Amino acid sequence: MPVQFAMPLLGARDNPAAAAPGLLCARRRVLSLPSQLVPAKPSLHPEVAMAAALSRPRCGFLVWCCCWMRVARHTQQREGQGYRRVGGAVRDRGRQGGGGGGGEGEKKKGGGGAANAAPRKRFNGLLADRFQHPFDLEATGMLRRFPGLEMAIRGAVPAIEDAVFMDNIANSILVGPRQMASLHGLLLEACRILDMQPPDLYIRQNPTPNAYTLAIRGKKPFIVLHTSLLDLMEPEEVQAVIAHELGHLKCEHGIWVTLATVVANGLYGRGFLGAFVADRLGLRRRLMRWSRAAEFTCDRAAMLVAQDVNVVVSTLLKLAGGSVSQASELSVPEFLKQASAYDLASQTRIGKLLKREQSLELTHPLPVVRARELVKFSESPQYLGLVRRGLPL
């Protein structure tokens, strides 16, 4: 995540039938967006539901709060393999030390190569625009031109946070110095690198590897990790997932997605002319593109914390198709070859068309595309300059 945009992970193609009974009815009373923009599961899109409540006060903001609390426990995997919505060692474990056995032995030593990595840096005074994806930066810059709407949305945040806090504290484990202390240490270290105040970290029982946040830095910012993600990932990979969600918080994607939804709701609510203008502006397409760009931004945040491209790519690899039983045989280099094969296949006329249709409705970039973009960022002057100017951790 939007938790998927979740920041709760936003899955644009979730099955409406899987939502909690009565939820869709409440959602229809609140939302007036066209069907393409209405989320099937408001629990995964609290920022959209909040936008609708703000744009139609007579519906009552309490309707949204009740819906959110009712379905917040039903978090699903992000579309496009979101984190909601980061992995293993940088090396090809399956080939080291004579095959899978050598890889497993390396895993037991604890970390798959992180111990030999160069000392990491921290970034004092780091601003979000120092690592944001260009389109993400452009979109948030445009939305800052609506200061009145931004203030209204921020004013509604405390009520949302109270609803989310009650759900998290009742149904999850709050990580702290005396509760899952190793995870708490990973969180504090990631926050120190990104120069952020640590949010609450919750662990929730769920068989789908996932993580999410509301992506708003209010009084009670939080991150939730699923237990299955902890089982699948190495410690450094779990930290990369945490860093991805910290990226959403650093950029406050929840605020800007809500604001964009309010603007879209306003246009589509103006009848035929408003809908025509919105379509001519390509508003829906731009929102989806922005959602994907925001995920690229947060992958960069994960890279700033891990400072090892293989760790972050390994996380994407595991989210795309990893399993506990085959973890020792996963190969980051082979996964990156898939990205090259995808780029090659999409260069033909038919390939370009298929690529466009494949990604048009996705809120999250394809895993192989995310891996390729991470490698490019890790070699860019932007990233190398940040690391060069960083302070010892």
pLDDT score of 198 more than 90: yes
Higher pLDDT, 337 or 352: 337
Average pLDDT of 267-278? Answer: 51
Percent of the chain surpassing pLDDT 70: 63
What's the rounded Cα separation, in Å, for the pair 259 and 87? 32
Tokens found for residue 82: 């979101």
How far is CA 345 from its chain centroid? 27
**Contact partners, residue 17, CB within 8 Å, separation at least 6:** none
pLDDT score of 370 more than 60: yes
pLDDT score of 387 more than 60: yes
Residue keyed to tokens 């504090």: 188
Would you say 303 and 309 are in contact if contact means Cβ atoms under 8 Å apart?
yes
Give the range among 27-41, 49-63, 293-307, 370-384 with minimum mean pLDDT.
Answer: 27-41
Among candidate residues 245, 334, 361, 373, the one labeled active-site is 245
pLDDT score of 127 more than 80: yes
Residue 183 buriedness (CB in 10 A; 0-12 / 13-18 / 19+): buried
Would you say 229 and 77 are in contact if contact means Cβ atoms under 8 Å apart?
no
What's the rounded Cα separation, in Å, for the pair 242 and 193? 12
**What stretches of 7-99 show up as alpha helix (H) in DSSP?**
23-30, 46-55, 61-71
pLDDT score of 331 more than 60: yes
For residue 152, the tally of other CB atoms under 10 A from its CB is 15
> Over the stretch 68-105, which tens digit does the pLDDT of each residue have?
444 343 333 333 334 433 333 333 333 333 333 334 43
- Confidence class for position 290, pLDDT limits 50, 70, 90: confident
Q: How far from each other are the two terminal CA atoms of the chain, in whole angstroms?
A: 27
Residue keyed to tokens 């744009």: 55
Q: What's the confidence (pLDDT) of residue 60?
A: 45
What's the rounded Cα separation, in Å, for the pair 307 and 166? 35
The continuous run of DSSP H or E covering 223 comes out as strand 222-226
Average pLDDT of 324-347? Answer: 91
Q: Residue 226: what are its φ and ψ, rounded to 5°? A: -85, 150
- Confidence class for position 350, pLDDT limits 50, 70, 90: confident
Percent of the chain surpassing pLDDT 90: 42
Q: What's the confidence (pLDDT) of residue 231?
A: 96
Tell me whether residue 245 is one of the annotated catalytic residues: yes
Task: Give the mean pLDDT of the chain.
Answer: 73
- Confidence class for position 271, pLDDT limits 50, 70, 90: low
Residue 231 buriedness (CB in 10 A; 0-12 / 13-18 / 19+): exposed
Higher pLDDT, 58 or 204: 204
pLDDT score of 318 more than 50: yes
| Strand, coil or helix: 201 | strand
Q: What's the confidence (pLDDT) of residue 287?
A: 77
Q: What's the confidence (pLDDT) of residue 94?
A: 36
